[in-house]
Amino acid sequence: MNKRQQQSEIRHQRILQAASHRFARFGYQSASMDDIAQDAGVSKGLIYCFYKNKQALYEATLRRELSQWLEESAHIATHKDDPTADLQSLICVPFDILRNKPVLQTLLTGDTETLTRYQPLFRRLRRRWRNRIMAILKDGIAHNVFDRAMNTAHTAGIIYTLQRSYLDRAVINTNTTVPEPDAVLALSEFVIKAVVKNKSVVDVSQAGEKA
Query: According to the model, what pLDDT value does residue 202 have?
Result: 47
Query: According to the model, what pLDDT value does residue 18 have?
Result: 96
Query: According to the model, what pLDDT value does residue 77 have?
Result: 54
3-state secondary structure string, 27-85? HHHHCCHHHHHHHHCCCHHHHHHHCCCHHHHHHHHHHHHHHHHHHHHHCCCCCCCCHHH
Does residue 145 register a pLDDT over 70? Answer: yes
Q: How confident is the model at residue 180 (pLDDT cuts 50, 70, 90)?
A: confident
Distance CA 111, CA 89 (A): 31
Q: Do residues 160 and 127 lie in contact, with contact meaning Cβ atoms separated by under 8 Å?
A: no
Does residue 172 register a pLDDT over 60? Answer: no
Distance CA 18, CA 24 (A): 10
8 versus 108: the higher-pLDDT residue is 8
The CATH homologous superfamily to which domain 64-210 belongs is Tetracycline Repressor, domain 2 (1.10.357.10)
Distance CA 96, CA 162 (A): 16
Q: Do residues 31 and 23 lie in contact, with contact meaning Cβ atoms separated by under 8 Å?
A: yes
Domain edges within the chain: 1-50, 64-210
Mean pLDDT of the region 73-77:
67
Q: What share of the chain is helix, strand, coil (3-state, %, to 5)?
A: 75, 0, 25
Question: Which numeric CATH code is attached to 1-50?
Answer: 1.10.10.60
Does residue 210 register a pLDDT over 70? Answer: no
Does residue 75 register a pLDDT over 90? Answer: no
Does residue 161 register a pLDDT over 60? Answer: yes
Q: How many residues does the chain have?
A: 211
Mean pLDDT of the region 30-38:
96
Give the model confidence (pLDDT) of 184-206 as tens digits.
888 999 999 999 987 544 454 44
Query: According to the model, what pLDDT value does residue 153 have?
Result: 96
Does residue 115 register a pLDDT over 70? Answer: no
Q: What is the mean pLDDT of the chain?
A: 82
Give the percent of the chain with pLDDT over 70: 82
79 versus 130: the higher-pLDDT residue is 130
